[in-house]
């Protein structure tokens, strides 16, 4: 068998249709995006047998470093039957040879091999014997496991929630939390709508991403990154934009109708000699009426500021092979009480089910569930949709140049941290000097 750089179409066809390890991060589109927006060099490699059939493949992303060195990364790779130990050994040998030719310090892989699964009902499915054998076999082949991390320390999340789409939609909805069902129903009653957007809607999507990131105190990508991703994945596969929207006139009509109903109930109460129960009822109805009046004023102000049709949620889904991933989700700061975000999730889950896909992946959560973890809210939100809580095996590095690997992975981060601290100290000194 021989390792070759494959024609990009043949490579993508193999990856897309692989029954075990098809993943959008191993796609040709991801390789092109990484080249254009991350300045990485993609290699589309395949192990070919004597009949010229591809038996294993991987996208390798090359990050160039000083001194003519580099490192290589196979995001969620390889595309191979990992349990065929002989094939894995041969593929490793040939990929490592390729890496040495490129003067790579190391080669990183992080296959989405499930290490442990916790079902929606809390039942834990422990590591199978076969997976433990694979874990040991990878280390025998020379891969160094980087540990069972708990947060987002790795290149890709070690934890996620996945929904098995072989279930009926009724079964999937049964696994939703009680609050999720209630919030979806409330959103539907408020006549929120979800539509599939197009390229022109990416500007709105980006604005909502910026609002979301501002709340979380980080910024990821600029608009042109999302535009390029959308174009590349829609050449052969699907990047779908779901837009959750409200119509303010519809909202105001519903609230005004609710107000009329409350006023009628108040009028029906006796005018004099109210019983204790009627007094309590009157008090509660007046309280509801006061809130509805405030809501009418609030929503009229929002309509005046933002217009009648407002997009509150914008989610981007990647559909590739037999799976879909909820890759990005942006949400507005206003009208959170409409739960449009929940409705949007519900609609793209139904969409993926109707597309006859196998897996719906919410793309990332945490393993550290302590109460002070700032990401716990994200975890709890995704958990409410009843997916299986998945822990992947983690990252492995195949070290080719031990000295440079030590310098790059240990000493360079220490140096960068020192520089960062020094700059903070200098900035603090400048600020204090100006104040004086």
pLDDT number for residue 416: 65
Rounded to whole angstroms, the Cα distance separating 150 from 326 reads 21
pLDDT of 417 > 80? The answer is no
Rounded to whole angstroms, the Cα distance separating 234 from 55 reads 27
The residue written with tokens 């092109």 in the block is 32
DSSP secondary structure string for all residues of 241-272: EEEEEEEHHHHHHHHHHHHHHHHHHHHHS-SS
pLDDT of 368 > 70? The answer is yes
Under a CB-based contact definition with an 8 Å cutoff, are residues 316 and 241 in contact?
A: yes
Structure confidence by residue, pLDDT tens digits, 86-124: 999 999 999 999 999 999 999 999 999 999 999 888 888
Average confidence (pLDDT) over 386-390? 96
Structure confidence by residue, pLDDT tens digits, 45-91: 999 999 999 999 999 999 999 999 999 999 999 999 999 999 999 99
Report the mean per-residue pLDDT for the chain: 93
Q: Which backbone phi and psi does 232 adopt, to 5 degrees?
A: -65, -45
pLDDT number for residue 339: 98
pLDDT number for residue 422: 61
Structure confidence by residue, pLDDT tens digits, 157-180: 999 999 999 999 999 999 999 999
């Amino acid at each position: 068998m021989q390792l070759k750089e494959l024609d990009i179409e043949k490579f993508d066809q193999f990856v897309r249709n692989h029954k075990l390890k098809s993943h959008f991060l191993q796609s040709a589109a991801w390789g092109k995006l990484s080249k254009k927006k991350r300045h990485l060099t993609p290699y589309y490699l395949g192990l070919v047998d004597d009949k010229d059939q591809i038996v294993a493949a991987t996208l390798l992303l090359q990050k160039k470093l000083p001194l003519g060195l580099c490192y290589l990364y196979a995001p969620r790779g390889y595309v191979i039957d990992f349990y065929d130990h002989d094939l894995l050994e041969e593929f490793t040998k040939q990929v490592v040879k390729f890496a040495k030719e490129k003067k790579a310090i190391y080669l990183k892989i992080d296959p989405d091999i499930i290490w442990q699964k916790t079902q929606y009902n809390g039942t834990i499915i422990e590591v199978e014997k076969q997976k433990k054998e694979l874990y040991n076999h990878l280390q025998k082949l020379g891969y160094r496991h980087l540990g069972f991390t708990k947060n987002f320390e790795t290149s890709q999340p070690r934890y996620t929630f996945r929904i098995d789409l072989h279930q009926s939609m009724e079964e999937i909805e049964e696994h939703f939390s009680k609050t999720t069902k209630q919030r979806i129903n409330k959103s539907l009653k408020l006549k929120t709508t979800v539509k599939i957007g197009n390229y022109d809607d990416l500007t709105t999507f980006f604005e909502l991403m910026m609002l979301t990131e501002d709340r979380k105190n980080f910024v990821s990508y600029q608009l042109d990154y999302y535009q390029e991703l959308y174009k590349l994945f829609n050449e052969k596969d699907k990047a779908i934009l779901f837009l959750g929207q409200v119509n303010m006139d519809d909202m105001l009509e519903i609230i005004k109708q609710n107000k009329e109903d409350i006023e009628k109930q108040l009028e029906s109460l006796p005018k004099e000699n109210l019983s204790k129960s009627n007094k309590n009822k009157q008090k509660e109805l007046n309280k509801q009426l006061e809130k509805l009046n405030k809501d009418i004023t609030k929503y009229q102000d929002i309509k005046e500021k933002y217009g009648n049709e407002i997009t509150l949620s914008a989610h981007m889904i990647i559909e590739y092979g037999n799976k879909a991933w909820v890759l990005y989700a942006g949400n507005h700061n206003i009208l959170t009480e409409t739960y449009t975000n929940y409705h949007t999730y519900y609609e793209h889950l139904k969409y993926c089910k109707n597309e006859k896909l196998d897996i719906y992946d919410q793309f990332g959560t945490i393993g550290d569930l302590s109460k002070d973890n700032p990401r716990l809210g994200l975890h709890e939100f995704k958990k409410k949709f009843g997916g299986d809580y998945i822990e992947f095996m983690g990252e492995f590095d195949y070290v080719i140049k031990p000295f440079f690997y030590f310098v790059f992975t240990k000493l360079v981060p220490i140096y960068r941290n020192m520089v960062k601290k020094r700059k903070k100290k200098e900035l603090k000194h400048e600020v204090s000097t100006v104040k004086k």
